[in-house]
């Protein structure tokens, strides 16, 4: 690629040199006075001096007219087109940026709102869960309390029953022991009285 560009440049340079070589004799012919001796430009008697001024004025005028009417407006047109294109593109870019900024702001607002909603939902759910848990705990506590109370009642009844049976069991046991140890049947009133006094001494 670079080699091709180099060859292309060399070809261009060759064609430029060839055209220059052709142009130089033409230019020499165009300016025959260029080989004059001394300072010909100070020879004001030479009619070429006036001719040069008149030609110069004419050429300058034509150049001025062509430049001001045609060539320079062309450049100005391209430059203004470029300026316009750049301004339009910049405008579009600015608008796109504004839209993007608005979209980002909307996104942030939506995100904040979603976050707030989510937080509120979480708080609500947590509160509901907490209330449900508290309610459940209360219910359970009440149920447990009731069960404990029932159990205590039952235990008290069982105890009362058991205590009520203690004297009878003790009397029977004492009668049986006496009977088997001594072979004598102890009088029931005596045993009952002794067992009664022993139970009373133990707080039964």
Partner 1 sequence: MMMIVAALLVLAFLYVGMRPAAVVPGRLQAAAEMCYDFIYNMAVDTIGVEGKAFFPFVFTLFFFILAGNYLGLLPFSFAFTSHIAVTLALALMVFCLSIIVSLKVQGAKFFAHFMPAGAPKALAPLLIPIEILSFLSRPVSLSIRLFANMVAGHVMFDMFAAFTIMLAGLGFFGDIIAVGPVVINVALMALELLVGALQAYVFAILTCIYLREAVAH
List residues binding partner 1 (CB under 8 A): 24-25, 27-28, 30-31, 33-34, 39, 41-42, 44, 49-50, 52-53, 55-57, 59-60, 62-64, 66-68, 71-72, 74-79, 81-82, 85
- Measured CA to CA, the distance from residue 89 to residue 25 in angstroms comes to 52
Please, what is the minimum distance in Å from the beta carbon of residue 109 to partner 1?
A: 40
Residue placing its CB nearer to partner 1 in the complex, 28 or 103:
28
Please, what is the minimum distance in Å from the beta carbon of residue 2 to partner 1?
A: 18
Please, what is the minimum distance in Å from the beta carbon of residue 113 to partner 1?
A: 45
Residue 71 has what DSSP assignment? Answer: I
- Measured CA to CA, the distance from residue 203 to residue 92 in angstroms comes to 105
Phi-psi group of 38: left, alpha or beta (phi > 0 → left; psi -120 to 50 → alpha; rest → beta): left
Please, what is the minimum distance in Å from the beta carbon of residue 11 to partner 1?
A: 17
- Measured CA to CA, the distance from residue 191 to residue 197 in angstroms comes to 10
Residue placing its CB nearer to partner 1 in the complex, 59 or 156:
59
Residue placing its CB nearer to partner 1 in the complex, 82 or 113:
82
Residue placing its CB nearer to partner 1 in the complex, 16 or 190:
16
- Measured CA to CA, the distance from residue 97 to residue 116 in angstroms comes to 28
The angle subtended at Cα 149 by Cα 144 and Cα 152, nearest 5°, is 120
Residue placing its CB nearer to partner 1 in the complex, 72 or 110:
72
DSSP string, 21-68: HHHHHHHHHH-GGGG-SS-GGG-TTSHHHHHHHHHHHHHHHHHHHHII
Please, what is the minimum distance in Å from the beta carbon of residue 88 to partner 1?
A: 11
């Amino acid at each position: 690629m670079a080699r091709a560009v180099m060859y292309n440049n060399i070809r261009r340079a060759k064609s430029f040199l060839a055209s220059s070589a052709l142009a130089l004799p033409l230019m020499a012919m165009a300016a025959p006075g260029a080989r004059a001796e001394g300072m010909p430009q100070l020879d004001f008697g030479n009619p070429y001096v006036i001719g040069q001024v008149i030609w110069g004025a004419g050429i300058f005028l034509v150049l001025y007219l062509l430049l001001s009417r045609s060539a320079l407006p062309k450049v100005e047109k391209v430059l203004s087109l470029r300026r316009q294109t750049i301004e339009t593109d910049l405008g579009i870019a600015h608008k796109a940026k504004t839209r993007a900024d608005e979209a980002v702001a909307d996104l942030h607002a939506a995100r904040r709102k979603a976050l707030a909603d989510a937080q509120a939902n979480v708080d609500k759910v947590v509160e509901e869960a907490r209330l449900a848990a508290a309610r459940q705990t209360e219910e359970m506590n009440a149920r447990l309390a009731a069960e404990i109370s029932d159990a205590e009642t039952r235990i008290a009844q069982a105890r009362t029953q058991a205590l009520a049976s203690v004297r009878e069991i003790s009397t029977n046991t004492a009668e049986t022991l006496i009977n088997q140890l001594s072979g004598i049947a102890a009088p029931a009133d005596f045993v009952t009285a002794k067992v009664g006094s022993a139970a009373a001494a133990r707080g039964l």
